[in-house]
Structure 1
Amino acid sequence: METYGKNIHVTLICPGPIRTPIYQAAFTHQSGETTERKPLQGEISENRMTSERCAFLSLVAIANKLSETWLSKLPILPTIYVALYLPVVSEFLTRLVFPSIVKRMKNSN
């Protein structure tokens, strides 16, 4: 609002999960050390947008002067919308689905 009427455009970019190699340095004890270990194996860790795709979509949003943009692969964004606007439905679905997700995560290691 502070820039309204001053010909300055602001784009609020809200990215979802992004696939980056940050975990290679984040899970080590020494500076400069890297690891090949992945925190999550399988489809859960692979269902993330690449950093290149996120950067491209961010630039498209800025070029088109969008005031807000949400960047995410499916099903992350609809899940967030349900949690935000239908909290009772979200809680029910979480109780129904969450145990199977945890079980898959345990079995993937």
Structure 2
Amino acid sequence: NRLLDILDPRVLNDENVEQLKEVAALARRCVRVNGEKRPTTKEVAHELAGLQAMPKHPWSQSKLVGEEAEYLLSDLPSSYGKGATSSSMGYDSINNKIIFELEGPFPTYI
């Protein structure tokens, strides 16, 4: 709870507060006494790569408000009910890109 009090003011700014909180939470998990509850090195690297990539992605820079945010965060329209089965997102650290994978079948429009 005192993270923002102990951070150097030169490191802390309005744009990175959430990212710093995420890194602090990860660090807290890394120093757990019970080794079985600590994340693996691979998990830590994956999480750090995700934190590093997200602020650079153009979608994270946009300030969605009102109807745009409501539309994007709402449930899929009923026309999608039978068609779409799943989707996933990942991060390609080598190419510095966010990857979306979709699995069909998808609805067709007449």
TM-score (norm 1): 0.28
TM-score (norm 2): 0.28
Q: More relative contact order in 1 or in 2 (CA 8 Å, sep 6+)? A: 1
